[in-house]
Amino acid sequence: MDKLTHLDATGAAQMVDVSAKADTVREAVAEGVIAMAPTVIAAIRAGDIRKGDVLGTARIAGIMAAKQTSALIPLCHPLPIASVSVDFEYLETGVRVETCVRTNGKTGVEMEALTAASVALLTIYDMAKALDKGMVIGPVRLLAKSGGKSGDWTAG
């Protein structure tokens, strides 16, 4: 599992061929966290941020970014995304995002779920950075995927 045959002798980058794969329902769930000072969390909760409604804006940014994933990640396949959800939860030390993306396509949507989470967190950073430039993004990681030939996977 920790080694894969090269597709060509030179190791050059390429989009792996998925034309022979079947269209099946595939789902991926990712999560991410942004850590910040308690005063910043309080300001976000109170809507007390100069740029406006933070989590509502970050949700839209995450959803729209999921649809741009194949334009951002060079070797990622374009997929007909069937749904995206982006949900937030306040932590004592920041904000947690959980994203879920579904498609009916030939490859998985792990990258779409991770991209949605990353861009949602970057948007929170952008909106709150006038208060605190020391916010830290991460961990961002895949929680689970299902569908496709390689089968289901859940984070340990």
Exactly one of 17, 53, 126, 132 is catalytic; which is it?
126
Closest approach, Cβ 1 to a copy of itself, in A, equals 7
- Nearest CB to a copy of itself, comparing residues 18 and 91: 18
Contact between 149 and a copy of itself by CB under 8 A: the answer reads no
Query: Hey, which residues between 76 and 95 contact a copy of itself (CB under 8 A)?
Result: 76-87
Closest approach, Cβ 96 to a copy of itself, in A, equals 12
Query: Hey, which residues between 124 and 143 contact a copy of itself (CB under 8 A)?
Result: 125-127, 129-142
Q: Which residues contact 143 (CB under 8 A, 6 or more apart)?
A: 29, 30, 31, 98, 154, 155
Nearest to 147 by CA among 21, 31, 33: 21
Query: Hey, which residues between 94 and 113 contact a copy of itself (CB under 8 A)?
Result: 102-106, 110-111
Query: Binding residue per annotation — 15?
Result: no
152 labelled catalytic: no
DSSP for 82-138, please give it: EEEEEEEEE-SSEEEEEEEEEEEESS--HHHHHHHHHHHHHHHHHHHTTT-TT-EEE
4 exposure class (CB count in 10 Å sphere: 0-12, 13-18, 19+): exposed
Query: Binding residue per annotation — 76?
Result: yes
Q: What residues are labeled active site?
A: 126
Annotated binding site for substrate: 75-77, 111-112
